[in-house]
């Protein structure tokens, strides 16, 4: 029994981040178009960024006084120089630590450095930091590298990043943590691990997946007054439960079980009955009308654990189900192969997971009636590549999967991605407690239940992802380590019945 469930959900649902996610090149074009439209130099945005950073830092660390501001050679460094000038004006003690001498800078970054020096500021070169006798910082600002990082960091820059990560002080990253590829979310060698990140103009898609989730810390966003032009299509969209919960409208009073779908789950080979049991329980808790399990004949009936889960007598699978789930605990023996081949061609929506995906990788085919839910290892097998290649660019990987196999693809992981061939959605909720057995089985059951109740495949995958992740965040209030998949079941029921 979950205690205080309403209070817990209320605390979890805070202010939501922006929904559109952008590639770095899109942000640069937005800045240029803003400057042309407003008739201003881009330096005006640098001034706004510096002011936003100063206000943000003062708000979150009001007692801080000694700021170490690490600046690079580009516009990210220019933001840092503006911040230093404004902080000094407020009576703080900013120490500017530069990766490149101010005299070697160009463009707006050079102008910002010159104004800092003209205001009486000084610059310490990063290579002189080691061994220097300095008061310890109570706030570190990472203004080293911006959105243009495409290659692994140089050895000198790697050393600076290591220094930042080794300081005993909170770290504020400017726009995004240095070393992060803004488009893919991969760390390009070293990566600053920020306490908080203030992103500008728009949130970059790589900040919310792969290594980005470890680098950004608490993410906030300031558009700096720049509004995307009408018709500009984001690279991806960010999903969260508060934005989608209103789609889970109350049922009519006349509702009955026949109106909410019949789901058949196929799997549960010997020794793996827990997978299909969890999927079936999640399916029930997410609102499916009737649920049957087709599992190995020598497996004990699931009804011994969950009475509402029915078995599947011989012949019952023909024409009964409105939705099927194929894969949880299916196995890769002859029984598993036979079930895969039998159920793959059935009509109606299909959710394919676990060993269902492993069988598909051995005999690839394209269908539009399914939702595929691979983790990176399964995705690698489906794409005939290594896991590292999948994780190097998860956005490219999920697009390739959808193009090759059709339907809707949900690539699980930190920052799960959903691609339906038209758009990519990203769910950034969830936590490391989900790294345990059975979590993916729950997701398959939730998605199947939503399909059975009439949602489209794309929306069932998106809703399923946020319900699954939100439930895990709520369950993790008692601790991430040791959290079990079954701990999410009562939260799933509550989340598919949102209160106004």
Residue 413 annotated in ligand binding? yes
421 labeled part of a ligand binding site: no
Region 288-311 average pLDDT: 93
Rounded-to-integer distance, Cα 37 and Cα 261, Å? 53
Rounded mean pLDDT, 172-186: 97
Q: How confident is the model at residue 15 (pLDDT cuts 50, 70, 90)?
A: very low
368 annotated among ligand-binding-site residues: no
Superfamily grouping for domain 240-494: Ribokinase (3.40.1190.20)
pLDDT at 314: 63
Residue bearing tokens 């997971």 = 353
The total of other beta-carbon atoms located within 10 Å of residue 4's CB is 10
- Give 303's pLDDT tier (boundaries 50, 70, 90): confident
The answer to whether 394 and 414 are in contact (CB under 8 A) is no
Residue 151 known to bind ligand: yes
Res. 16 pLDDT band, cuts 50 70 90: low
Residue 74 annotated as lining a ligand binding site = no
Residue 77 annotated as binding site: yes
Q: How confident is the model at residue 347 (pLDDT cuts 50, 70, 90)?
A: confident
Does 29 belong to an annotated binding site? no
Sign of CA dihedral 113, 117, 121, 122: positive
The rounded distance, in Å, linking the Cα atoms of 206 and 214 is 11
Average pLDDT over residues 341-357: 94
Question: Which run of H or E residues covers position 424?
Answer: strand 424-427
Mean pLDDT (whole number) for 210-220: 96
Q: Annotated binding residue at 441?
A: yes
The mean pLDDT value of the chain amounts to 94
CA distance linking residue 239 with residue 143, whole number of Å? 28
112 is in an annotated binding site: no
The answer to whether the annotation marks 416 as part of a ligand binding site is yes
396 Cβ partners below 8 Å, 6+ apart? 184
Place of tokens 């012949």: 315
Q: What is the predicted pLDDT for the residue at 315?
A: 66
* Model confidence at 1: pLDDT above 60: no
The domain limits of the chain are 18-233, 240-494
95 annotated as a binding-site residue: no
Asked whether residue 103 is marked as a ligand-binding residue, the answer is no
Closest CA to 433 of 491, 387, 381: 491
**Which pTM was predicted?**
0.93
Residue 361 marked ligand-binding = no
415 is in an annotated binding site: yes
pLDDT tens, residue by residue, 115-128: 999 999 999 999 99
108 is in an annotated binding site: no
Asked, colleague to colleague, whether 18-233 and 240-494 share their fold, the answer is no
Q: How many other β-carbons are positioned within 10 Å of the β-carbon of residue 490? A: 16
Specify the pLDDT at position 346.
86
Whether residue 76 is annotated as binding a ligand: the answer is yes
Q: What is the pLDDT of residues 110-159, one digit of tens each?
A: 999 999 999 999 999 999 998 888 989 999 999 999 898 999 999 999 99
Strands (E), 165-289: 171-174, 196-200, 203-204, 218-222, 236-239, 262-266
Count of C-beta atoms within a 10 Å radius of residue 308: 11
d(CA 330, CA 345): 17
Annotated binding residue 473: no
The annotation status of 298 as a binding-site residue, yes or no, is: no
- Residue 274 known to bind ligand: no
Report whether 146 belongs to an annotated binding site: yes
18-233: CATH number? 3.40.50.10260
Q: Is 353 annotated as a binding residue?
A: no
């Amino acid at each position: 029994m979950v205690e205080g469930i309403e209070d817990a959900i209320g605390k979890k649902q805070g202010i939501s981040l922006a929904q559109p996610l952008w590639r770095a090149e899109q942000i640069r074009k937005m800045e240029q178009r803003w400057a042309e439209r407003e008739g201003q130099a881009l330096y005006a945005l640098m001034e706004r960024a510096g002011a936003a950073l100063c206000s943000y830092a003062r708000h979150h660390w009001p007692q801080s006084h000694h700021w170490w501001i690490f600046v690079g050679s580009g516009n990210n460094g220019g933001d840092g120089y503006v911040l230093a000038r404004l902080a000094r004006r407020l009576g703080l003690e900013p120490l500017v630590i530069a990766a490149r001498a101010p005299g070697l800078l160009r463009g707006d970054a050079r102008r910002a450095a010159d104004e800092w020096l003209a205001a009486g500021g000084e610059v310490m070169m990063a290579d002189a930091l080691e061994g220097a006798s300095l008061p310890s910082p109570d706030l570190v600002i990472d203004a080293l590298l911006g959105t243009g990082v495409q290659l692994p960091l140089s050895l000198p820059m790697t050393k600076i990043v290591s220094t930042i990560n080794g300081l005993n002080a909170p770290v504020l990253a400017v726009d995004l943590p240095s070393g992060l590829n803004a488009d893919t979310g991969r760390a390009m060698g070293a990566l600053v691990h920020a306490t908080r990140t203030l992103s500008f103009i728009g949130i970059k898609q790589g900040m919310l997946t792969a290594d980005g989730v470890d680098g950004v810390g608490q993410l906030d966003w300031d558009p700096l007054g720049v509004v995307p032009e009408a018709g500009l299509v984001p690279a991806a969209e960010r999903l969260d439960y508060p934005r989608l919960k209103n789609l889970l409208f109350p049922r009519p009073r006349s509702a009955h079980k026949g109106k909410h779908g019949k789901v058949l789950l196929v799997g549960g080979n010997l020794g793996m009955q827990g997978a299909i049991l969890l999927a079936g329980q999640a399916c029930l808790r997410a609102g499916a009308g009737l649920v049957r399990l087709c599992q190995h004949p020598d497996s004990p009936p699931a009804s011994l654990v969950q009475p509402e889960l029915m078995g599947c007598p011989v012949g019952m699978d023909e024409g009964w189900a409105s939705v099927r789930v194929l894969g949880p605990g299916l196995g890769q023996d002859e029984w598993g192969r036979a079930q895969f081949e039998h159920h793959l061609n059935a009509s109606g929506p299909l959710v394919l997971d676990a060993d269902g995906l492993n069988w598909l990788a051995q005999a690839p085919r394209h269908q539009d009636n399914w939702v595929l839910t691979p983790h990176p290892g399964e995705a690698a097998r489906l794409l005939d590549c290594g896991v590292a290649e999948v994780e190097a660019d998860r956005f490219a990987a999920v697009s390739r999967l959808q193009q090759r196999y059709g339907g809707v693809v949900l690539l699980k992981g930190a920052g799960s991605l959903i691609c339906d061939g038209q758009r990519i959605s990203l769910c950034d909720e969830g936590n490391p407690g989900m790294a345990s057995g059975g979590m993916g089985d729950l997701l398959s059951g939730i998605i199947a239940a939503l399909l059975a109740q009439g949602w489209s495949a794309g929306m069932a995958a998106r809703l399923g992802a946020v319900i699954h992740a939100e439930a895990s965040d709520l369950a993790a209030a008692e601790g991430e380590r040791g959290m079990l998949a079954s701990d999410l079941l009562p939260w799933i029921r509550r989340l598919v019945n949102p209160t106004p």
